[in-house]
């Protein structure tokens, strides 16, 4: 008879329910893979009386010690969300010699170091594949499959809500507000959409990915963040005309000034592998010095895709238990690299301006850019708006600080009625 490995589940929301379903549905083949039966022994819930989609009455508890202090439970799976008390529960579980699996990006992005140190000290596994990009394998590929590479760049579409919204805005030429309302109605966006549309969810994920890719601890505070609220159908249309799409990108690159790590909407060439990523799908593009360009694509959220990633971690830990090994791959942040301040980051920029439609206007604008050493790669006059003309321009590659100075100058010029939008251009073909 096979060994039994017992698991305690903290939380039974969407992801926890998915994990229970999946371990049940594919339990037989998982047992064959692992050489042991994986059993959920107890589930921590807040409310015992709430009706549940699965028959779990017999294993529910509201007392966390029933899990953390149960010597038979070898793996604790945290899928309750939030920072506290989830963090304390995980630390306690490790101190009690239990391996920990989590899907909690907030905690990994903020308390990664503490969790890794505690795991190492207590010689237990700490796994968090589901914390970034749901079902898409990306943590393990970065830590193992690309381990021989010096990673140069990680660039991802890691927030399904905003990618769905930008896809909709592109397809239907509809505006931000109406697409947001629709996404909320479909359950793709929260009532308070700030975490998604403000870029904060993506920022947590790129903090985690950057830490692994560049072997230095990057936290949420290190990430420069801009959301998509200012993107208009007009910008999307002009992007298309110029051979680009607009995506909310989470980017991390190693530069001579440190790790350049940011989340913002960007023009992306239609020929880039990330450009065809539609709707709620996620994808992460990784460049390494040996492997070249790679990409990992799939569903970044949802009950079963996330359960797939959490369960893969459980299986991995169970394999470790069967082979009597732990902490085989832990923290890989063995360097301390500085973060490159956003003012030094360099990209071309798309700028959309409303200017007075009179002779000399363009010369004045070009002069304002030139004064900051910003050269213009491309300028085109688009539609008339009242007595004004809409001007679209793409700059050459410039430091963010120089661009900001030029934009400030423009804002003070009588010929410029409005600076309508400023959007970075990524992966431009130069």
Q: Where along the sequence are the contacts to its own copies (CB under 8 A)?
A: 18, 22-23, 25-26, 29-30, 32-33, 129, 135-137, 140-141, 144-150, 215, 273, 275-276, 281, 283, 288-299, 302, 304-305, 307-309, 311-312, 314-316, 319-320, 323-325, 327-329, 332, 334
Q: Where are the alpha helices (DSSP H) in 186-302?
A: 194-197, 200-214, 233-241
Integer Cα distance of 132 and 207 in angstroms: 10
Please check whether residue 151 is in contact with residue 214, taking contact to mean a CB–CB distance below 8 angstroms.
Answer: yes
* 16 in a known ligand binding site: yes
92 is catalytic: no
- Edge-to-edge strands of the sheet including 99-102? 60-61, 36-44, 3-10, 73-78, 99-102, 126-127
CB of 115 or CB of 317, closer to its own copies = 317
CB 292 to its own copies: min, Å:
5
CB 111 to its own copies: min, Å:
22
Helical axes 176-185 vs 160-172, angle rounded to 10°: 130
Question: Residue 417 corresponds to which tokens in the numbers above?
Answer: 């009625």
**What does residue 6 show for φ and ψ, rounded to 5 degrees?**
-100, 140
Beta bridge partners of 393: 351, 379
CB 141 to its own copies: min, Å:
4
Please check whether residue 307 is in contact with residue 79, taking contact to mean a CB–CB distance below 8 angstroms.
Answer: no
* 105 in a known ligand binding site: yes
* 219 in a known ligand binding site: no
* 14 in a known ligand binding site: yes
Active-site annotation holder among 98, 205, 247, 253: 205
CB of 232 or CB of 294, closer to its own copies = 294
CB 288 to its own copies: min, Å:
7
Please check whether residue 77 is in contact with residue 10, taking contact to mean a CB–CB distance below 8 angstroms.
Answer: yes
CB of 319 or CB of 377, closer to its own copies = 319
CB of 25 or CB of 343, closer to its own copies = 25
Displacement of CA 380 from its chain's centroid (Å): 34
* 237 in a known ligand binding site: no
Dihedral sign, Cα of residue 358, residue 363, residue 369, residue 374: positive
Integer Cα distance of 422 and 353 in angstroms: 9
* 345 in a known ligand binding site: no
CB of 231 or CB of 274, closer to its own copies = 274
Count of other CB atoms within 10 angstroms of residue 298: 18
CB 163 to its own copies: min, Å:
14
* 17 in a known ligand binding site: yes
Q: Which residues are annotated as a binding site for NADPH?
A: 105
By annotation, the residues acting in catalysis are 205
Q: Which residues are annotated as a binding site?
A: 10-17, 105, 190
């Amino acid at each position: 008879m096979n060994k039994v490995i017992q698991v305690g589940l903290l939380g039974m929301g969407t992801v926890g329910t998915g994990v229970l379903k999946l371990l049940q549905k594919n339990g037989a083949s998982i047992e064959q893979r692992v050489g042991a039966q994986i059993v959920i022994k107890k589930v921590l819930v807040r409310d015992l009386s709430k009706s549940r989609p699965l028959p779990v009455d017999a294993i529910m508890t509201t007392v966390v010690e029933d899990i953390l202090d149960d010597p038979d439970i070898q793996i604790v799976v945290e899928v309750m969300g939030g920072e506290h008390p989830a963090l304390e529960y995980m630390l306690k579980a490790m101190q009690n010699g239990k391996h920990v699996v989590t899907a909690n990006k907030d905690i990994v992005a903020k308390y990664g170091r503490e969790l890794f140190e505690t795991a190492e000290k207590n010689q237990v596994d700490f796994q968090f594949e589901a914390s970034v990009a749901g079902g898409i394998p990306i943590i393990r590929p970065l830590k193992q499959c690309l381990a021989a590479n010096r990673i140069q760049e990680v660039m991802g579409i890691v927030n399904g809500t905003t990618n769905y919204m930008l896809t909709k805005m592109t397809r239907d030429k509809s505006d931000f507000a109406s697409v947001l309302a629709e996404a909320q109605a479909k359950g793709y966006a929260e009532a308070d959409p700030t975490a998604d549309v403000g870029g904060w969810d993506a920022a947590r994920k790129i903090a985690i990915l950057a830490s692994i890719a560049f072997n230095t601890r990057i936290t949420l505070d290190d990430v420069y963040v801009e959301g998509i609220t200012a993107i208009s159908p007009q910008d999307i249309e002009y992007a298309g005309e110029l051979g680009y799409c607009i995506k909310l990108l989470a980017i991390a690159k190693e530069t001579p000034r440190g790790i350049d790590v940011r989340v913002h909407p960007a023009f992306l060439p239609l020929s880039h592998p990330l450009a065809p990523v539609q709707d709620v799908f996620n994808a992460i593009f990784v460049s390494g010095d040996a492997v070249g360009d790679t990409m990992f694509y799939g569903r970044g959220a949802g009950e079963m895709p996330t359960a797939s990633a959490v369960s893969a971690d459980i299986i991995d830990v169970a394999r470790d238990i069967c082979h009597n090994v732990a902490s085989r791959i832990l923290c890989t942040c063995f360097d301390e690299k500085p973060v490159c301040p956003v003012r030094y980051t360099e990209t071309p920029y798309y700028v959309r301006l409303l200017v007075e439609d009179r002779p000399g206007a363009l010369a004045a604008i070009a002069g304002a850019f030139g004064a900051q050493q910003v050269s213009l790669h491309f300028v085109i006059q688009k539609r008339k708006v009242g007595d004004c003309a809409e001007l679209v321009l793409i700059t050459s590659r410039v430091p963010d600080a120089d661009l900001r100075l030029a934009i400030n100058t423009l804002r003070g010029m009588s010929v410029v009625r409005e600076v309508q939008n400023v959007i970075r251009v990524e992966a431009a073909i130069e």
